[in-house]
Amino acid sequence: MKHTHSVLLITLLGLLAISFAAAQTPQAAFEQPLLVTSAGQSSGDAQIALQLAKRAGLAATLSKSGTGKDLENQKTLVLVLGASMKGLGAAGLDSNKEKERVRELVAEAKKKAIPILAMHLGGGARRGELTDEIINEFLPSAKAAIILKSANADGIFSKLCQSKAIPLVEVEKSLDAVEPLKKFFAK
Amino acid sequence: MKRAAVLGLVIAVALFAASCRPQKAEVAAPPADRHVPYNYAGTQGMVVAAHPLAAQAGLDMLKSGGNAVDAAVATAFALNAAEPFASGIGGGGFMVIHLAASKKTTVVNFREKAPAAAAPAMFRDKGEAQAEWRQERGTAVGVPGMLAGWAYALGKYGTKSLAQAAARAIEIAETGFPVSATFSQINKDEYEKLLKNAGEATSYLNGGIPYEPGDVFKNPELAATLKRIVRDGIDVFYKGDIAPKIVAAVRAKDGIMTLEDLSAYRPVEVDPLQGTYKGYTIFAAPPPAVGGLHIFQLLNVAERWPVKDWGHNSPAYIHHMSEAMRFIFADKEHYDGDPDFVGLPLSRLLAKEYAGLVRDKIRADRTAAAYGFGVFDPVRDKKENTTHVGVVDKDGNIVALTQSINDFFGTGIVPEGTGFLLNDHMADFATDPASPNAPRPNRRPVSNMGPLIMFKDGRPVLTLGSPGGTRIFPSLAQILINIIDFGMPLDAAIEAPRFFSYSVNGKVRDLSVEPRIPEPTLAALKALGHTIALKEPYDKYFGGAQGIMILRDKNKLIGGADSRRDGVGAGY
């Protein structure tokens, strides 16, 4: 009898958690087409975001070093947060130049009233001083965020999103981000 | 009561099982924080490698009666399955072997070769697109030497068969293993290249997306390829069924390799390069592996400096060492090439007198205005991104093996149905067609690898090596100085914060540092004229060194493995 009660309680809590997560995914918050770019030149992560968007059936374009001009005809800016020294080197950028590029891009998006969806797909391994600077500076400009749970072990995303009332979706694996993406872009 | 009985039985079985396990030489387990220095210990044999499954494959080979060469080849095969992004049968390398009985030290050079159709300006002519042609197109692929080198070493110095050496690798590729955070991050970093060249369906991606930590990575196609090689011999790779698949994959991506290039490949056995530092004698792979050459140059310059008085990673130490690196890079740029085709002034570059001239150019109070290469008389001497494996066996035989497919995941090109990645070592040739290291037919590109074995009074005391491209020689020299001058235990010497600098055309480049070097030190270095480039606290950029220290008087082997990658030791 006791056992049955426990199972029921766990099931109920589970259902509550799922409905809470579903409620956190706003409906039709973003529109297509979307421009995917990196903030920090973790170009592999940006490529993953593009693939996930395609799997969600979205019209997406990748520009690793996107500028304001790339926002022409776009309705959403996907900012993939995460610094890569290798990526910065390959792009011929230092961290200051990269942050300046992203600042200008975000400013242009705001000017054009294009909402920003922040993503962090590198997990715990893609954290560090520069990545944290990028998260702290650019995450507050986002209308929503999707991240790998392992990147939020210290609660950096939770704290920032909570303070700015930004809906945050945590997923275990990159592929799990496809469903939240579908919901974000659902008509 | 029943539960208590079951519990008691379980404990008893567990205790019995534990008592049956081989006794570990060191009781303490590795710390949870992998960056905390930890010395693996053994008394009879030790293997250090960049993946636990590979180190275990080598250890099992030692325990089953194999010698150091058998264990090194078993470890190398296993790395192809467990750390496929860093090395494999599509690449090449260098193996330094010390035979205890004959006190002979020798080197097997199985570096890739340029195809016969290579030409000096083949990359320069691509203009701004040359990086892609050097690293991701078929032109990037050098003729692989790995299998030929392993088979040569095994046949001449080993005691086991190719089948025995490859068995664990086949098992790992078939059954798979959960990927580490390191594997996952590198997989994500190289995602674009893999999508482009290996395609969404490749086993190097998980349903078309990079692997997350904990995902199980299997490579059944590699297992099948290795089984073919074991059954039919390595000729199936160089002359048989696999060869046309390699050529087709390379040429489909605009490459120039032919079946003749593959069938003509041969490894070579050469004498090691020798250097000294403060009473120690060091044997390393010779050019075209230039890691050893430049380690010796750097140590020669540092030998007369009061590094101990300056202090480890003090401003004076980092400043002087960085300046020396920049002068050595000027020599590297000017002289390095394949010694089979170009004369290298090795004895001049390695002379202690020349090191004195370099020291004289280095000012304590500022960086140099320019970094010139050494100018020697015109008579030259006659021909006299990677993973590292170190093995010491119970008889005192030693192997230092560094092998690579160059960039992580190489070119990303996988010959159809084979499961192995092809290297991009053609990228190690120089852009300038006039360089001694310009691509030319059948030449081996200069390699930065520097596997080494160090001796004191004729007895081996240390084997060491690292991946890391141009950072290899500065990193290995720092580790050796950490041990010899600063008295650090092996793994502390490996984990200590590193720095690196270089010069291009005589002009200074940034001083890259791990930010564990304190801010006041960095401020002092900036005041001396260095531009600081901060890397990650434990950055793979600086390599992933593995070493074994041989404490003969204590009958002890100490293994050190770098936490910048997934390095571990396994001893008994």
d(Cα B289, Cα B294) in Å, to the nearest integer? 10
What confidence tier does B100 reach under pLDDT thresholds 50, 70, 90?
very high
Task: Specify the pLDDT at position B536.
Answer: 86
Task: Specify the pLDDT at position B9.
Answer: 43
pLDDT at B10 over 80: no
B537 to chain A, minimum CA–CA distance in Å? 9
Read off the pLDDT of each residue in A98-121 and give the average, rounded to a whole number.
Answer: 97
**CB-CB under 8 Å, B212 with A48:** no
Task: Specify the pLDDT at position A89.
Answer: 82
**CB-CB under 8 Å, A175 with B207:** yes
pLDDT digits (tens, 9 = 90+) for A59-68: 999 999 899 9
Residue identified by tokens 């494999």 is B88
- Could you give the dihedral angle defined by the CA atoms of residues B92, B94, B99 and B103, in that order, rounded to the nearest 10 degrees? 160
DSSP 8-state assignment for residue B442? T
Interface test with B, best of A62, A80, A85, A170 (most B CBs within 10 A): A85
**CB-CB under 8 Å, A84 with B213:** no
Task: Specify the pLDDT at position A9.
Answer: 55
B341-355 burial, b at 16+ Cβ within 10 Å, e below that, comes to ebebbbebbbbeebb
pLDDT at B380 over 50: no
Provide, as residue numbers in chain B, all residues whose Cβ is less than 8 Å from the Cβ of A65.
Answer: none
Q: Which of A45, A128, A175 sits opposite B188 (nearest CB)?
A: A45
**For residue B288, is the peptide bond before it cis, meaning its omega torsion is within 30 degrees of 0?**
yes
Provide, as residue numbers in chain A, all residues whose Cβ is less than 8 Å from the Cβ of B215.
Answer: 173
Q: Which of B467, B409, B31 shows the shortest CA–CA distance to B183?
A: B409
The runs of H, that is alpha helices, within A56-147 are: 85-90, 95-111, 129-138
Catalytic residues of B: 386
B189 to chain A, minimum CA–CA distance in Å? 5
Task: Specify the pLDDT at position B22.
Answer: 35
How many Å separate Cα B233 from the centre of its chain? 26
Q: What is the CA radius of gyration of chain B?
A: 23
Read off the pLDDT of each residue in A48-66 and give the average, rounded to a whole number.
Answer: 96
What confidence tier does A115 reach under pLDDT thresholds 50, 70, 90?
very high
What confidence tier does A6 reach under pLDDT thresholds 50, 70, 90?
low
pLDDT at A10 over 70: no
Task: Specify the pLDDT at position B381.
Answer: 45
Nearest chain B residue (CA) to A90 = B131
B270 to chain A, minimum CA–CA distance in Å? 35
DSSP, collapsed to helix, strand or coil, labels residue B39 as: coil
Task: Specify the pLDDT at position B374.
Answer: 86
What confidence tier does B377 reach under pLDDT thresholds 50, 70, 90?
low
**CB-CB under 8 Å, B181 with A44:** no
What values do phi and psi take at A144, rounded to 5? -160, 165
Q: Which of B209, B515, B536 sits opposite A48 (nearest CB)?
A: B209
- Tokens for B363? 């000012």
pLDDT digits (tens, 9 = 90+) for B530-563: 999 988 899 999 999 999 999 988 899 999 999 9
Which is more confidently placed, B479 or B7?
A: B479
Read off the pLDDT of each residue in A100-127 and give the average, rounded to a whole number.
Answer: 95
Task: Specify the pLDDT at position B21.
Answer: 37
Read off the pLDDT of each residue in B386-410 and give the average, rounded to a whole number.
Answer: 96
Read off the pLDDT of each residue in B223-247 and give the average, rounded to a whole number.
Answer: 98
How far from each other are the two terminal CA atoms of chain A, in whole angstroms? Answer: 46
Q: How many CB pairs under 8 A join A and B?
A: 62
Q: Which of A101, A29, A18 shows the shortest CA–CA distance to A65?
A: A101
A28 to chain B, minimum CA–CA distance in Å? 26
- Mean pLDDT is lowest, of A22-36, B3-17, B458-472, B521-535, for B3-17
Provide, as residue numbers in chain B, all residues whose Cβ is less than 8 Å from the Cβ of A148.
Answer: 212
Provide, as residue numbers in chain B, all residues whose Cβ is less than 8 Å from the Cβ of A174.
Answer: 209-210, 212
Provide, as residue numbers in chain B, all residues whose Cβ is less than 8 Å from the Cβ of A86.
Answer: 189, 541
Task: Specify the pLDDT at position A137.
Answer: 97
**CB-CB under 8 Å, A129 with B188:** no
pLDDT digits (tens, 9 = 90+) for B294-343: 999 999 999 999 999 999 999 999 999 999 999 999 999 999 999 999 88
Task: Specify the pLDDT at position B276.
Answer: 98
- DSSP string computed for B150-165: HHHHHHHH-SS-HHHH
Interface test with A, best of B134, B190, B191 (most A CBs within 10 A): B191
- Mean pLDDT is lowest, of A61-70, B76-85, B156-165, for A61-70
Read off the pLDDT of each residue in A105-115 and give the average, rounded to a whole number.
Answer: 97
- Which percentage of chain B shows pLDDT scores above 70? 94
What confidence tier does B193 reach under pLDDT thresholds 50, 70, 90?
very high
pLDDT at B1 over 70: no
pLDDT at B28 over 90: no
- Torsion sign across C-alpha atoms B254, B255, B256, B260: negative
B465 to chain A, minimum CA–CA distance in Å? 23
Read off the pLDDT of each residue in A18-22 and give the average, rounded to a whole number.
Answer: 44
How far from each other are the two terminal CA atoms of chain B, in whole angstroms? Answer: 41
Task: Specify the pLDDT at position B237.
Answer: 98
**CB-CB under 8 Å, B536 with A86:** no
Nearest chain B residue (CA) to A127 = B536
Beta strands B46-49 and B568-571 are antiparallel
Provide, as residue numbers in chain A, all residues whose Cβ is less than 8 Å from the Cβ of B184.
Answer: 123, 125
Nearest chain A residue (CA) to B187 = A44
Look over chain B and give the mean of its residue pLDDT values, rounded to a whole number: 93
Task: Specify the pLDDT at position B365.
Answer: 96
Interface test with A, best of B188, B407, B538, B566 (most A CBs within 10 A): B188
d(Cα B246, Cα B357) in Å, to the nearest integer? 48
Provide, as residue numbers in chain B, all residues whose Cβ is less than 8 Å from the Cβ of A122.
Answer: 185, 188
Q: Which run of H or of E encompasses B453?
A: strand B452-456
How many Å separate Cα B121 from the centre of its chain? 28
**For residue B178, is the peptide bond before it cis, meaning its omega torsion is within 30 degrees of 0?**
no
What confidence tier does A111 reach under pLDDT thresholds 50, 70, 90?
very high
Task: Specify the pLDDT at position A129.
Answer: 86
Nearest chain B residue (CA) to A149 = B212
Other beta carbons within 10 Å of B156: 12
A45 to chain B, minimum CA–CA distance in Å? 6
Provide, as residue numbers in chain B, all residues whose Cβ is less than 8 Å from the Cβ of A123.
Answer: 181, 184-185, 212-213
pLDDT digits (tens, 9 = 90+) for A139-176: 999 999 999 999 999 999 999 999 999 999 999 999 99
**CB-CB under 8 Å, B515 with A47:** no
pLDDT at B293 over 50: yes
| Residues B245 and B417: beta-carbon distance below 8 Å | yes
**CB-CB under 8 Å, B207 with A173:** no
Provide, as residue numbers in chain B, all residues whose Cβ is less than 8 Å from the Cβ of A52.
Answer: 209
pLDDT digits (tens, 9 = 90+) for B491-528: 999 999 999 999 999 999 999 999 999 999 999 999 99
Interface test with B, best of A127, A174, A176, A181 (most B CBs within 10 A): A174
d(Cα B408, Cα B54) in Å, to the nearest integer? 18
DSSP, collapsed to helix, strand or coil, labels residue B235 as: helix
pLDDT at B70 over 60: yes
